[in-house]
Structure 1
Amino acid sequence: MSNTPHTLGDEFPDQMDQIHALKVSSTRFAKLLVDYDAVNDEIHRAETNIAPVSQDRETELRKQRLALKDQIAQALAENA
């Protein structure tokens, strides 16, 4: 497993201005960002054994992160 953080800047490097604009204009989008960061941080802590979790829990977290990333990408596309 990779222990490289999947920050939004890494995932959407060319869309950070758009992410910031949506964050301040949409509470729904801002919540997606908070949720993404929380799940991403938990995955990173698990991968680095700071806060180990079961393999099943880590898999579930990865699925959650992917679903949140998809929702963020969709919101960015809809507001392009």
Structure 2
Amino acid sequence: MWHEYRELMTELKGKDGRFDSLFEKHNELDDKIKDAEEGRIFLDSMEISQLKKEKLRIKEELGVYLANYKK
């Protein structure tokens, strides 16, 4: 995910609250989706779909944030 921003992401981790918040939420959603798809937690298909949409929204927001980041 966002290979072209790898260095910037490393630089921002722990130093930029907005980035940290979005990145953490994206990872939490990713973990929850995986847990549901692998049967560790129960979510119906509609709930999983909603989580995937939210994860995609956050991913897009992170992409815009990184692309427009000014040091």
What TM-score comes out, normalization by structure 2 length? 0.87
Partner residue of 1:33 out of 10, 20, 23 = 23
Gap regions ≥5 residues in structure 2? none
Give the percent of matched residue pairs that are identical in Structure 1 and Structure 2.
21
- Whether 1:65 and 2:70 are equivalent positions in the alignment is no
Q: Within 1, Cα distance between the matches of 2:13 and 2:54? A: 20
Q: Within 2, Cα distance between the matches of 1:12 and 1:75? A: 11
Superposition CA RMSD, Å: 1.4
- Whether 1:13 and 2:13 are equivalent positions in the alignment is no
Q: Within 1, Cα distance between the matches of 2:3 and 2:34? A: 20
Gap regions ≥5 residues in structure 1? 1-10
What TM-score comes out, normalization by structure 1 length? 0.78
Partner residue of 2:41 out of 51, 72, 75 = 51
Q: Within 1, Cα distance between the matches of 2:31 and 2:16? A: 23
**Alignment size in residue pairs:** 70
